[in-house]
Amino acid sequence: MIEPLLPKPAATGRPRSNDRTVLNGIVCVPVSGCRWSEMPKTYGDGSTANLRPRRWQEFGIWKKILGRAVKSAHRQGKINLEKISIDSSSVPSKKGAM
């Protein structure tokens, strides 16, 4: 679903790490609570998984992914867009940060 939204690999230079593997690593860190450096090697290099989401943010990729996911869920009747709300004020901060 999201593969067409991701930037194409460069035609020259070092081959880019597999997007699916890196995406799994990106998800692994917040779910498990580990540091990027502690991420299991099955997800590739921690620095790649740390850098790639920031680049995707710069290019607006995350916004496109979220938009496509919401549209897909709405078409399938899994969400009602008239009753959706996202509020981060109910999410606790890590280590007591504000």
pLDDT at 17 over 80: yes
Mean pLDDT value across the chain: 84
Q: How confident is the model at residue 95 (pLDDT cuts 50, 70, 90)?
A: low
Of 75, 18, 83, give the one whose Cα is nearest residue 52.
18
Tokens representing 96 are: 């007591």
At 19, list the tokens. Answer: 């997007």
Query: Tell me, what amino acid is at 22?
Result: V
- pLDDT the model gives residue 10: 85
d(CA 64, CA 55): 14
In this prediction, residue 92 carries a pLDDT of 65
Least confident of 27-31, 39-43, 51-55, 94-98: 94-98
Average pLDDT rounded to a whole number, residues 54-63 = 92
Q: Which residues fall within 8 angstroms of residue 13, CB to CB, at 6 or more apart?
A: none
26-49 average pLDDT score = 88
